[in-house]
Amino acid sequence: MSIAQNIEQITQTIQQLSQINQRLPNAVKLLAVSKTKPIPAIIEAIKAGQLAFGENYVQEGVEKIQYFIENYTSTDLPLEWHFIGPLQSNKTRLVAEYFDWVQTLDRIKIAQRLNAQRFEHLPPINVLIQINISDETSKSGISPDEMMLFAREIAQLPRLKLRGLMAIPKPEIDKQKQKIILLQMQQLFKQLQAEFPEIDTLSMGMSDDMQSAIECGSTMVRIGTAIFGSRMSPKTEAPKTGAK
């Protein structure tokens, strides 16, 4: 199937799952994970109505964002760019200058650098706290016990806007075990909302666990392979003629 057909099918699935689980219409947002995907594939997704994209690699993401800034106006094409990879200190300036969201915030040093480097003419950058909910040494994120203190520290930084939580749970074949972990994230999200009522985003769920994530309160699912197909090596070369 084409990228457009994939997006249509996933969108319908999200709507059906939302209805089954008595979620409000449009309660779950689709983030298209476009890392390693070439610009023509992103253009195809845009033509299908997709406007929010997730990138894991800073330089690759910035090159794509620059292409769309140069070839489209923000009014004609209000794209939303999410950084969803591990963020190193030496890359915070580029992220602060170009991205709209950072979903993987887990260190106060990174938060402080993003706050200092965000341009005044831009709105505050939206941030999510990454929770290492499965306690995996191979993954980034803070422990649940650290969440409230970290959230309060972020709330003191005026160029950041805390929007909620993000997690990449350990893959589970057993759906019940999977849901136990996802429900723990839902409880953390509610705990955070109790102190910060403006919190509105729980980013969890990918191609393999989207259904369970929506059942457990996710407000944003991050889908890559099911939209664009299998991974490709990074390639950001723009089309020879600027398709719009």
**Would you state the pLDDT for residue 231?**
58
Angle between helices 147-154 and 175-195 (to 10 degrees): 40
Q: Alpha-carbon torsion 167, 144, 19, 21, what sign?
A: positive
Check if CATH label 1.10.940.10 holds for domain 3-216: no
Instruction: List the beta bridge partners of residue 126.
Output: 101, 161
CA distances from 25 to 1, 14, 17, 19, 22 (A): 26, 10, 10, 7, 9
Quote helix, strand, coil % in the chain, to nearest 5: 40, 15, 40
Query: Coil, strand, or helix at residue 51?
Result: coil
Strands (E), the chain: 29-33, 52-55, 80-83, 101-105, 125-131, 160-167, 201-203, 220-223
Shortest CA distance to 167 belongs to which of 153, 180, 145, 185?
185
Of 162, 168, 164, 194, the closest CA to residue 182 belongs to: 168
pTM above 0.75, yes or no: yes
Angle, alpha carbons 225-227-230 (nearest 5°): 30
Per-residue confidence (pLDDT) for residue 235, from 0 to 100: 46
List per-residue pLDDT tens for the chain, 244 residues long: 899 999 999 999 999 999 999 999 899 999 999 999 999 999 999 999 999 999 999 999 999 999 999 998 777 789 999 999 999 999 999 999 999 999 999 999 999 999 999 999 999 999 999 999 988 777 889 999 999 999 999 999 999 999 999 999 988 888 899 999 999 999 999 999 999 999 999 999 998 899 999 999 999 999 999 999 875 544 444 443 343 3
Integer Cα distance of 73 and 67 in angstroms: 11
pLDDT for 25 equals 85
Separation CA 195–CA 38 (nearest Å): 41
The type of residue at 6 is N
Q: Give SS3 for 9.
A: helix
Is 196:155 a contact under the CB 8 Å cutoff? yes
Q: Which residue pairs, CB below 8 angstroms and at least 24 apart, start in 44-50?
A: 44/2, 44/3, 44/4, 45/3, 45/4, 45/7, 45/227, 45/228, 46/77, 46/79, 47/4, 48/3, 48/4, 48/7, 48/8, 49/7, 50/7, 50/227
- Calpha distance 172→208 (Å, rounded): 9
